A and B are shown apart, each in its own frame.
Chain A
Amino acid sequence: MGAYRADEDYDYLFKVVLIGDSGVGKSNLLSRFTRNEFSLESKSTIGVEFATRSIHVDDKVVKAQIWDTAGQERYRAITSAYYRGAVGALLVYDVTRHVTFENVERWLKELRDHTDSNIVIMLVGNKADLRHLRAVTTEDAKAFAERENTFFMETSALESLNVENAFTEVLTQIYRVVSRKALEVGDDPAALPKGQTINVGDDVSAMKKVGCCSA
């Protein structure tokens, strides 16, 4: 087990949810981010599980409380209750299984039905290491993300590609929204910058900076 500190000091606590079809790699994204672990032998998530990790944004400590939800439709009656209070979401699909990308629309709808309109959403195409099995093109996903005003990234939890970036980007964006909100007394929900696309492999150096909390 990773020995992260559960009760460290932090300036902000953000709740982030991981959603998407069964078997797309949500739990491995979470374990890669919070403990730098990946398991080919992972089990299906039952109900909701969670983990935390803190990162630095500007000079502030941002603690992410990340809720990993079961992918099966049956569990949504339970898991949707956990959307409450979420300020960020990673909506994950598997780039090798097209049907998981087709279902993104339904997930997005459910997310928007249950959360605040300010929520920061990132579409995440996981398993990008399986290049020969790719069934969803980067262009299609990017176009979808632009249309839906979400961020977008392709990741590989196995190769640790872009996992840090995806989470860090979401947390940073949330931080920007929150700190801007704190400045502006007139609360404008439309102020959230959306529609930006982050390219795969752009900012690999960022990975070296973080990872402080995995033992």
Chain B
Amino acid sequence: MKNSDNSSSSLDSRFNQTLKNVQGLLKGRSIPGKILLTRRTDPPEDPNLHERTPSFGRSFSENDAGTSDQMDTSMGSEARSTSKLNSNSTTTKLKPSYSNIEIASKDVQKSPMGLELQILQELQKRLRELAWSGVPPYMRPTIWRLLLGYAPPNSDRREGVLRRKRLEYLDCVAQFYDIPDTERSDDEVNMLRQISVDCPRTVPDVTFFQQEQVQKSLERILYTWAIRHPASGYVQGINDLATPFLVVFLSEYLEGDIDNWSISDLPADKISDIEADCYWCLSKLLDGMQDHYTFAQPGIQRLVFKLKELVRRIDEPVSRHMEEQGLEFLQFAFRWFNCLLIREIPFHLVTRLWDTYLAEGDALPDFLVYIYTSFLLTVRITVTSFALTLYTVTCLNFSIAAIIFFPLAMPVLCE
């Protein structure tokens, strides 16, 4: 919005500052995810290590610092697709088997199945590392399906699994959505009404989303998801979260600028495949943050608390200042966590940001805390004379975000 005023060099330096902030924060975090230092702008951490093992070595060395059992961002899609309840124990069991290549080779001797698993896990890990820095647009649909564990990593099985999943989605729509209101409970009628109020005002600044067929697709995806996830049901903001998937999976069929797309150019069966992919990917994404959308949204409240604590630890004066101003983190950061910054940054940059989100996998919620801390501290640097008030935070949200994230699109464009 306002970034046109800024010279590209100041954009670059601001971006580099932000990146350094994030990476600096990540190094100190107590709940480690996968940490990547692959950008050219990095100060070299350990040049010897880089030479020896250009890809894995770095992340291993970073991971060694970790202690939490929540760290595994690179677990195979099979593990990721198990229910949330089991995922922690699965993670701890799996972790030792691939956190070190020597151990891996011992496993190989034990069983030939172990080899395949090891290779898959290493590939998944490598994929996450690469995706973290940005995925080229033409590969994005395939990569996102893999990162979310929706498409199986084994390419022989992929077609079959996707076909089955897409049929399953169609069945769900027929069973839950394509029925008269008389067969719905009062709550379901209310939920559908809420969704139909929100679909027309989803990303309204992008004209593509004003097409009626797009809004209908969105409505089917959201309602079907809501019915099948009764613990949370539909919560405002989830509509925003479906849009990156819709755009990415449509990009496999529609070319050129999104402003020139017309969904009616596509045959009905393609649309339903795309919808199904959106549905499943949205489900996978939200599986990792179930309590963000249940009653009183405890997951988000917890993250807002973590954000507040992290800001206090890093920048005590800014934290004190905000307290004196009566500036509550919940007032501005709630939406950041609820909509994953979709509301704050220009829509055409969202998919690039999500490459990194999805590469973080299960560590995403904690990763968000670090991103937003950096976001906030960058606002503090930009706003002169320390005038962080709710006004500056909320009004500058958008323009500052544009400045921070615009250069993130660069690595992909340069390839």
Chain A contacts to B: CB under 8 angstroms? 1, 6-7, 22-23, 40-50, 52, 70, 72-75, 77-78, 99
Size bracket of the B interface: 20 to 34
Asked if A49 contacts B394 (CB within 8 A), the reply is yes
Q: List the A side residues contacting B330 at CB < 8 Å.
A: 47, 78
A99: chain B residues at CB < 8 Å are: 193
Interface of chain B, main secondary structure = helix
Whether the pair B198, A22 counts as a contact (CB closer than 8 A) is yes
In the bound complex, CA of A72 to CA of B190 (Å): 10
B237 at the interface (CB under 8 A from A): yes
Per the bound structure, the CA–CA distance linking A6 and B396 in Å amounts to 14
* Given A72-B194, A72-B236, A74-B295; A43-B331 close (CB under 8 Å): no
Residue of B nearest to A45 (CB): B236
**B201 neighbours in A (Cβ, 8 Å):** 23, 41-44
- 9 A–B contacts, CB within 8 A, in A order: A22-B236, A41-B205, A42-B201, A42-B204, A44-B236, A48-B334, A50-B390, A70-B236, A75-B235
Looking at the complex, which of B58-66, B335-343, B376-384 is the stretch in contact with chain A?
A: B335-343
Evaluate contact between A46 and B343: CB separation under 8 angstroms.
yes
Considering the complex of A and B, which 4 residue pairs feature the smallest CB-CB distances, nearest first? A41-B204, A77-B296, A47-B334, A23-B197
Which listed residue (B194, B205, B331, B391) contacts A22, Cβ 8 A? B194
Chain B residue numbers with a CB within 8 Å of A77 are 295-297
Beyond A6-B389, A41-B201, A46-B335, is A74–B236 a contact (Cβ under 8 Å)? yes
In the complex, residue of chain B having the shortest beta-carbon distance to the beta carbon of A67: B331
Name A44's contact: one of B198, B390, B391, B394 (CB within 8 Å). B198
Measured CB to CB, the closest approach of chain A to B383, in angstroms, equals 12
Chain B contacts of A6 at CB under 8 A? 389, 391
Question: Which residues of chain B come closer than 8 Å to A50, judged between CB atoms?
Answer: 331, 390, 394
Contact of A46 among B233, B236, B295 (CB under 8 A): B236
CB under 8 Å from chain A, chain B span 300-354:
330-331, 334-335, 338-339, 343
**Quick check: B395 and A47 within 8 Å, CB to CB?**
no
A141 CB, nearest partner CB in chain B, Å: 21
Contacts of B297 in A (CB 8 A): 74, 77-78
Bound complex: CA of A48 vs CA of B332, how far in Å? 8
By beta carbon, the residue of chain B nearest A42 is B201
A6 to B296 alpha-carbon distance, docked (Å): 31
Closest B residue to A73 using CB positions: B190
Q: What's the least CB distance linking B127 to chain A, in Å?
A: 32
The one of B190, B197, B236, B339 that contacts A75, using a Cβ cutoff of 8 Å:
B236
Q: When chains A and B are docked, how far (Å) is the Cα of A142 from the Cα of B135?
A: 58
Cβ-closest chain A residue relative to B394: A49
Of all chain A residues, the one with the shortest Cβ separation from B298 is: A77
Query: Bound state CA distance, A49 and B389, in angstroms?
Result: 13
Closest-CB distance, A9 to chain B (whole angstroms):
16
Minimum C-beta distance from B226 to chain A (A):
11
Cβ-defined contact, B198 with A47, below 8 A: no
Contacts of B343 in A (CB 8 A): 43, 46
Q: Which residues of B contact A42 (CB under 8 A)?
A: 201, 204
